[in-house]
Amino acid sequence: MYFRRIENLSGVLPAFEPTAFTRRTFLKLTTLAGTGLTLGAVLPACSSGGSSSGTSGAGAEPLVTPFVRIAPDNTVTVIVKHLEAGQGVWTGLAAVVAEELDAAWSQIRAENAPAQVPQYGNLAFDPKGSVQGTGGSTAMSNSWDQLRQAGATARAMLVAAAAEQWNVPAAEIQVQDGVLSHASGKRATFGELASAAARQPVPTNVTLKDPSQFTLIGRDKLPRLDSHAKSTGRQQFAIDVMLPGMMTAVVARPPRFGGKVQSFDATAAKAVPGVVDVVQIPRGVAVVARDTWSARKGRDALKVTWDESTAEQRGTPELMAEYKRLARQSDALTALKRGDVAAGFRRAAKVIEAEFGLPYLAHAPMEPLTAVCRLDADRCEIWAGAQFHTVDQANAAQAVGLKPEQVSIHTVAAGGTFGRRATPDSDYISEVASIAKATGGKYPVRLIWTREDDITGGRYRPLSYHRIRAALSRDGKVIAYEQRLVGQSLIAGTPFEAMMMKDGIDPAAVEGNAAEQYDIPNALVTWTNPKVGVPVLWWRSVGHTHTAFSKEIVIDELAEAAGKDPVEFRLAMLEHHPRLAGVLKLAAEKAEWGKLPGSGNGRGRGVAVQESFGSAVAQVVDVTVKDDRVTVDRVVCAVDCGIAVTPDVVRAQMESGIGYGLAAALHGKITLTEGRVDQTNFHQYEVLRIHEMPRHIEVHIAPSTNPPTGVGEPGTPPIAPAVANAIRAAATGIKVRKLPFDLAEARKA
Amino acid sequence: MALTLSVNGQPRELDVDPQMPLLWALRDHLQLTGTKFGCGMALCGACTVHVDGQPTRSCVTPVSAVQGKNITTIEGLATPAGKALQNAWVELNVPQCGYCQSGQIMSAAALLADNPRPSDEEIDAAMSGNICRCATYARIRAAIHQAADTLPVAVTKG
């Protein structure tokens, strides 16, 4: 069984897992060829231990470029530099290559790229590709040109090989569904031409298709490449990786953030059958055992004394009180300033004031954080659903005392992330590397976070507080807007601070506010970064998770105060935001805005719209409110994400974003009491279950010829405010100011 | 302690703590990793297997409690309903991250074995113990209906 596991595992290893010579050659070739977007490197088959592309005889070798491998067995394997965490990148990125190649979808496979920059760097993070990672809904947008070039380049080499073999002009060769043909009757598959194509020079100037010629891109029901494996239990995640002799570890971490190990007594833990080692690491004490159950029992028996002298001791009530105080201080940083706000308020016919509080949130992906490490004297291998490869390499290298280039990362599918697996300190990967180091690399080790570790372990969406004032003119227009935000920075104090902070402002803390997204002549947005010891992180849609909430509720209440229709009121402020206006109109039209049957009387309809990660999303929501409980009956969603490469994935991501946002709206909160997290597992950190998923969700994709933009995150921000607006419209008189919804409390307010 | 379990129709021997939850015996000792760990408290359903046909949370079921019983995991799911569900899952592109889907399918297969034509309400009731953080719930409902539609009512029993 072990050996079969290992063979299976090798199928997910990088294709270029090479001898030193081929690795060097590869790097040299790719570096020479690398001008960012241009593909160049073409390798012979090399000793590709992990390649599934068998050879069909002597001299048969695949065509290999950094992003695609065409094998003699006629499979086309697209090398994917991004983490597949459910958002559909294997399918979407493969479709881009397949389109330009004119491949048949049935011959397409996807394989994870090794951790290697600049080859596989994210061009949205840095055009030079210095950081490989997945985030900000950039996988498609930063790969679009790169992978079209990759597909077109490989296609040109196949065509050149056919032209040479058939002795006909390349321009006369047709390519369709993985077959090249010529009017003379000559015909060959990609597989048959792969070896000859590999010997062709790499073209430097290929022509990309006109979008009107696309046949795979935009195809309505393109089958996902991972559906079968994920419907049969065969998809391998990090938690499923088995190496010979591997041990399993769990870690005891401080109960308060910032705590440290003072001392520990491992006697009882070591007495648990199956426990093999108990070792201290920088983040706690690891119990290593022959299986997960023994490791957990060992940790239960472990006695640790924590030094909490520098730990965060405050609870949520104290933090929220502090945030309210900070929002009233005058020393906040200015994130946005436009026009003359004071003058705007002086001319106001009506002023609306509102305060919003949103809780810490855990990401809680279904696969808890897990990674495997195998450490030798001069090499460290990590298996993980790695989301931040370059950062993870550096952190693992530091933990084991090697250089980053001595750390290889075998990326496997992640059982969800929502941002959680991209951490500046690579928390779980650093831990597993530290355990391997502390146990001398004598066995491969797998680290598993339990659900309790995940819920109590930090890296939350920040707690936030917004204080908003907005002014309406006599003719019902928003003439002034002021928003004071308080919430922890995601990047201050991390290695990204220098790259991402602008004039002391963390863009991720303020992005998506009303002044940014509506035409408001006079506006001021300030931000205060409170000093709190709770570690925070980007959570699906980052700053938009809280800014869209307050923005869309305030705008809706301003519409009501102005006596105007909420959709018309918004459209009047979106002249300079045509994509937002477009999706708002589309959603309103498809939802038959204004015609809700049985409106009032406990039923209500609401709308919200938000642009995030380059895409605009509007949602019209129908709810029923009964006994202060809300049921979301219907969501009509419109999205403009540029060209929808894989429309069914786009729809799935909108459905997913809606469900993820609804979980937070209905249930989500992490609270602290005297520095300790109150929730431990799904009975206390409740998430959305199937009976709460709206029975009716429809997603409409705005037609577009613009390059593709993000879909993983933009579906999330509008849902909570749209539901809040629907609750108010349900004639309940409730103004929502907090999440998760507590209608009984809101009614009293 | 030496135990014998019947897993997917095969006798499997293992030497573990009798209190070890079936989940960890399957995953760590029998290398049947299709069954997933999600919470360890029977709260999320990712670990769902069938014990004598009944959907069971393997993360809280000690191995000593299932000796002599027939255990079916996603790897051994071979009923007509199970296959129909897997086909519908693929056709409707249900999985996203996919981590919870083994448990979802095992719960759905048990549902169809009991109730060959479930309504939305019955699906919600039977599936509410299975969490999906990607919120593929709308497609799960649709796929269960689609699978049910392909099965003759008599065949889904058993």
Residue A565 corresponds to which tokens in the numbers above?
Answer: 């229709």
Model confidence at A386, pLDDT cuts 50, 70, 90, reads very high
Model confidence at A594, pLDDT cuts 50, 70, 90, reads confident
pLDDT digits (tens, 9 = 90+) for A275-330: 999 999 999 999 999 999 999 999 999 999 999 999 999 999 999 999 999 999 98
Pinpoint the alpha helices (H) of A102-178.
139-166
What's residue A49's pLDDT? 33
Contact B124/A691, CB-based, under 8 Å? yes
Pinpoint the alpha helices (H) of A167-189.
none
Nearest to A416 among B74, B128, B134 (CB): B134
pLDDT digits (tens, 9 = 90+) for A224-252: 999 999 999 999 999 999 999 999 999 99
Phi-psi region of A492 (alpha: psi -120 to 50; beta: other; left: phi over 0): beta
What's residue A499's pLDDT? 81
Residue of A nearest to B40 (CA): A451
What's residue A59's pLDDT? 60
Over pLDDT 90: what percentage of chain B? 94
pLDDT digits (tens, 9 = 90+) for A644-691: 999 999 999 999 999 999 999 999 999 999 999 999 999 999 999 999
Query: Is a pLDDT exceeding 60 seen at residue A16?
Result: no
Contact A291/B24, CB-based, under 8 Å? yes
Q: What are phi and psi of A171, to 5 degrees?
A: -65, -20
pLDDT digits (tens, 9 = 90+) for A66-93: 999 999 999 999 999 999 999 999 999 9
Residue A60 corresponds to which tokens in the numbers above?
Answer: 């048969």
| Greater model confidence, A25 or A488 | A488
**Strand pairing partners for A467?**
A355, A484
Compute the nearest-CA separation of B10 from chain A (Å). 15
Q: What are phi and psi of A16, to 5 degrees?
A: -100, 20
- The architecture in CATH of the region A2-231 reads 2-Layer Sandwich (3.30)
Q: What are phi and psi of A324, to 5 degrees?
A: -65, -40
Query: Is a pLDDT exceeding 70 seen at residue B28?
Result: yes
Task: State the ipTM, two decimals.
Answer: 0.97
Distance CA A537, CA A491 (A): 8
Nearest to B74 among A232, A274, A414 (CB): A232
Please provide the average confidence, as pLDDT, over all residues in chain A: 91
Please tell me whether residues B108 and B63 are part of one structural domain. Answer: no
Within a domain: B156: no
Compute the nearest-CA separation of A683 from chain B (Å). 7
What's residue A40's pLDDT? 30
Q: State chain B's maximal CA–CA distance in angstroms.
A: 46
pLDDT digits (tens, 9 = 90+) for A183-198: 999 999 999 999 999 9
Say if CB A81 and CB A113 are below 8 A apart: yes
The edge-to-edge listing of strands for the beta sheet with A247-252 is A275-281, A284-289, A247-252, A445-448, A370-375, A380-384, A407-411
Query: Is a pLDDT exceeding 70 seen at residue A37?
Result: no
Question: Per CATH, which fold does A238-310+369-448 belong to?
Answer: Aldehyde Oxidoreductase; domain 4 (3.30.365)
**Cα distances (angstroms) measured from residue A491 to each of A425, A466, A485, A502:** 11, 20, 16, 11
Q: What are phi and psi of B22, to 5 degrees?
A: -50, -40
Say if CB A189 and CB A205 are below 8 A apart: no
Contact A292/B33, CB-based, under 8 Å? no
What's residue A428's pLDDT? 98
Contact B33/A448, CB-based, under 8 Å? no
Compute the nearest-CA separation of B98 from chain A (Å). 5
What's residue B136's pLDDT? 98
Question: Whole domain around residue B94: which residue ranges?
Answer: 80-151
Mean pLDDT, to the nearest integer, of A697-726? 97
**Cα distances (angstroms) measured from residue A318 to each of A322, A465, A603, A673, A674:** 6, 13, 37, 9, 9
Please tell me whether residues B84 and B62 are part of one structural domain. Answer: no
What's residue B154's pLDDT? 62
Same fold across A2-231 and A238-310+369-448: yes
Mean pLDDT, to the nearest integer, of A499-506? 90
End-to-end CA distance of chain A: 62
Query: Is a pLDDT exceeding 60 seen at residue A571?
Result: yes
H or E segment to which residue A634 belongs: strand A629-640
Within a domain: B158: no
Domain tally, chain B: 2
Within a domain: B48: yes
Question: Per CATH, which fold does A316-361+459-748 belong to?
Answer: Aldehyde Oxidoreductase; domain 4 (3.30.365)
Please tell me whether residues B8 and B40 are part of one structural domain. Answer: yes
Q: What are phi and psi of A630, to 5 degrees?
A: -110, 135
Distance CA A568, CA A566 (A): 6
Contact B101/A230, CB-based, under 8 Å? yes
Give the residue from A6, A366, A680 with the most B CB atoms within 10 Å of its CB, the best one to mutate. Answer: A366
Distance CA A247, CA A292 (A): 9
H or E segment to which residue B105 belongs: helix B101-114
pLDDT digits (tens, 9 = 90+) for B105-157: 999 999 999 999 999 999 999 999 999 999 999 999 999 999 999 998 764 44
